[in-house]
Structure 1
Amino acid sequence: MLKSNKISKELQLIFILLLTMSQSCSSDYIQYPQFKGGNLNLSYQNSEHILLLLPKSNYNADTLAALLIVYDRAYELASEVSGREPDPSPMGMDKLPLAIVPSTCGSGCGRLGRKGIEITEEKFERIYDQFVKDGVYDHLFFYELGRNFWFYEASDVKLKEMDEIRTGFAVFLRDMLLSELKLNAAPINNKPYQKYMEDKKEQWRKMSEAWNHNHHDLENLRKKHFPKPTQFWSMLWWERYKKFGMGSIHKTLQTLQQHPPKSETDWLKRFTQNSR
């Protein structure tokens, strides 16, 4: 009986020790698998649609919550116009992981058609500081969200231009979200965002006047007026959005999901036909 009691007490001590150890391990961290491989232990903050993962820092929780409210609204609007949400992230959760990491593929990186965005620590510090000091929203999250909401590529088609087309869509979705949410956007590429948009619209106006819907001239004209092809593709979307509204964008996206174009010519036809 004494031996049994001794074993029982030893088991109790082991249980208490394990419980103490588990409680001493911080529950404020999540192990995050980076896009480029390897894991990070990151703290987190939840919103309705987003799981913000970031290194321990001096970020104010209330300020982050205010930023995430706007990010949530952008996610909801992107879901509404797309008619669907991105596929779940490899982390196996419903929310979109937004991870602040030491490095990724550029200042930010977004999964194609799946939930998941990474932003570098250096870039996020600027995003946070601009929001706190000037009340403006950096464009990067909204752009990467456009990559998460990309579902319009035929799996059996390998177009060399496809990266330009999908990036142009991400640029457009960013511009549309900023416009619809009436956000005060931070400068982009060292240019005031409003000036950036005005310049794109002016480029489009000049090209359209010279084009007159003559497809044989389009290739040379777009190279002349849009040296960056992604800007050309983003403006095709923008022109439809401004002419016919979000309803037309929603309808176009539904069609594209069911019947993805199989050539650049087919992509152009989607926008040069005067249908809503």
Structure 2
Amino acid sequence: MALLLPVLLALLVCLTSALYYLGAFRRRRPGEPPLDKGPLPWLGHVLDFRRDTAKFLQKMQKKHGDIFTVQLGGHYFTFLMDPLSFGSVVKEARSKLDFTEFAKQLVEKVFGYHSMEEDHKLLQLSSNKHLMGDGLVLMTQAMTANLQKLMLHGLGLADGPGAWTQDGLFRFSYNIVFRAGYLLDKGHEWDRLESDELFVEFRKYDQLFPRLAYGVLPPRQKMEAERLKRLFWKVLSVEKVQKKENASGWVTDQRQEREDRGMEQSMLDRCKEFTHIGHSGHRKGAL
């Protein structure tokens, strides 16, 4: 009996530590948004979140208001549902709210890209050069030309003036903007076809994105996400993009800076996926 007591105490300590790690003792503190840990220990609301993310968030918004925290797979996520509030949140000082570490983890999880310490600085320098002043003018002109080529393509050809293609407004706009951002050279016919095929694959990835970002994808969908990531790495590889005649300076400058700092080829390809796919798509805000 004397030997059994230390064993029981050790098990009790381990159990208490495990419950603490799983968030069983977490409580809402003063000034924090409503906390909803869900019906299952550690898992929390992960099953409802997987089943229908939009419906789940709408249900939580109706229950708790525009800001709330929920437990998903052992992690706590705070959602901000009012888009008019985003500005005041992201402008908070880093001492109160720092996205750097979260951004590193997110980019690694959804794009397989291991960021460098100077990534933010490199992105800022490249953006200042190409997304402001003369650089912005050139990029705007290239984007406008791509939009025109995609939107006006096929008009007045053999199909005749009565040949219409019907599509939903959201999908049409999403398709055009994505493909215009992807096209990096002079818009030859094979680029249009390739960009349309890539858009179909990106839509699959985009629909998996929320659950991938929060780490709650079921095994089959996780395998599909990995397949899509490998496809993007191949299509957007440095080797393939270097063959294009009119590659974006914003993209090539970032690649060159990272290559000069010794980044591996595989990470350069993944960085290109993050730059192209991450910025061509759009995300609904969640903190």
The reply to whether TM is greater than 0.5 is no
- TM-score category (smaller protein): under 0.3
The structure with higher relative contact order (CA 8 Å, sep 6+) is: 2
Normalising by the residue count of structure 2, what TM-score does the alignment of the two structures yield?
0.23
Normalising by the residue count of structure 1, what TM-score does the alignment of the two structures yield?
0.23
Q: Point out the structure with the larger helix share.
A: 2
